[in-house]
Structure 1
Amino acid sequence: MARATRNARNAATGGRPDGRGGEAAVAAARRPEVRLPPLTPYGGGLEPDGDYDGLEFLGADLTGQRGRGARFMDCALTECALDEAELGHARFIDSVLTRVRGVGTDLAGAALRDVEVVDARLGGTQCHGASLERVVIKGGKIDYLNLRQARLKDIVFDGCVLVEADFGGAELTRVEFRGCTLRRVDLSGARLKDVDLRAVAELDIARGLDSLSGAVISTAQLLDLAPAFAAQLGVRVAD
């Protein structure tokens, strides 16, 4: 009970012992600076351990393609279909994914570094055990995103909708949520450091309230979460 009380207070104050949150209470995420070179149009499929450098995938249908372990460097994937694409342990470096769509895309154990994801429409994406560093996810909607045991560092979620995202056991460092809708999020066992939730438009945490230590929320959000914190503590609230 003492731990849950301490976590609730830390979530509201940014973990500062003086109880003052403020802008200095959380370190800002470092954003990627992606500058793509002139790209070569690519119309082929994917291969396991394939090497794709400086290519433009425009409107490509990659449904069910097997690209496990592939490397994408300085690439642009625009309006591509990724339904059930096998991209486990793939690497995306200095790349931009725009309006990609798909259900059941497998990115388990993948590595994304200096990547922008814009207006994606994805469902059931498997990113468990993945490593994300300096990534911006802007706009779009992602349902049932599996980030269990993933490592997220310097990540910005900007204006996107996440429905039932699973961060169970994940490690989040310098992660910002800006104008996002977070519905039924699972933070069970997650480890948070400098995670900024103050600008979230809708915050709904289904599980893992006791993992909020290391996050910063607003006073209004604390009031909204008060019933859930009370339930976590086993406190009954009555008029």
Structure 2
Amino acid sequence: MDFRDLGNRRSIQRPSIEIDDLTADDFTFHGEFDGDELLIDSSEFADVKGEGKLTGSLVRSTDLSRSHLSPLKLSDVRFEYVDLSSASWQGVKLHRAEIVRSRAMGFRISLASAQDVYIDGCRWDYATIHIEGVKGALVFNECLFREATITGDLSNVVFRDCDLGGVEFEANKAMNCDLTTSRVDEVARGLLGLRGARITAEQAASAAILIATEAGLTVTD
């Protein structure tokens, strides 16, 4: 088992993928699918509609823009350089999954569950992310979220070095949500509802006017 160190005594288990065992068999996300130990490389699945599960696989340089997948279960799966723009994935279960250097602009995703998930260097502009619950951690690392909407239970969600400018949060829980290394001063709304989340004193000062306004206070010079 391979673990990714998150610091502060936290870590998540990485996907278990045996690269040498992957096969490039014909696979499609269309209709009902059940894929295992696959290499899906430079494939075209724009506008596809389907449901199913994918296990122990690598998806690389693939177009899934405008795809509609529901329900979807991904276990021990890594996505690299994938286009998820304007896709809609609902009823998604992620277990030891990674999404790296991918486009997720306008992506609508509803996570029924997430465990040990790492998302790195992705653009989530205008996206809608709903989270039902997280075990271990769901980590967004160096992601951009311009005018995205993030809702649900944000407990155990970690935003590392992310730009959250224009984000609208609608959280019902946020215990152990970590915002300490991300930019929060231009969040559009919802900071006040992140009860249980962690920010630094410097972040609190920079976002003070926003927090006061959400609390119903009138801020004057």
Tell me the distance in 2 between the aligned counterparts of 1:85 and 1:206: 28
The answer on 1:51 being equivalent to 2:34 is yes
Amino acid at match of 2:180: R
The answer on 1:164 being equivalent to 2:147 is yes
Alignment of 1:102-181 (within 5 A): 102-148=84-130, 150-153=132-135, 154-168=137-151, 170-181=152-163
Larger Cα-atom Rg = 1
User: TM (normalized to structure 2)?
Assistant: 0.87
| Equivalent residue number for residue 213 of structure 2 | 231
Alignment of 1:41-120 (within 5 A): 41-68=24-51, 70-120=52-102
Structure 2, unpaired ranges of 5+: 1-6
Structure 1, unpaired ranges of 5+: 1-25
Tell me the distance in 2 between the aligned counterparts of 1:203 and 1:235: 17
Alignment CA distance shift 1:214-1:159 (3 Å): same
Alignment CA distance shift 1:65-1:148 (3 Å): same
Is the CA contact 1:29–1:175 (under 8 Å) kept in the aligned structure 2?
no
User: TM (normalized to structure 1)?
Assistant: 0.81
Amino acid at match of 2:29: L
Please identify, of 29-38 and 80-89, the stretch whose mean Cα deviation from structure 2 is larger.
Answer: 29-38
Q: Percent identity?
A: 25
Tell me the distance in 2 between the aligned counterparts of 1:222 and 1:53: 46
Give 3-state SS (helix, strand or coil) of 1:227's partner: helix
- Whichever structure has more strand as a proportion of its residues is 2
- Whichever structure has more helix as a proportion of its residues is 1
Amino acid at match of 1:95: V
Is the CA contact 1:32–1:115 (under 8 Å) kept in the aligned structure 2?
no
| Equivalent residue number for residue 206 of structure 1 | 188
Aligned residues: 212
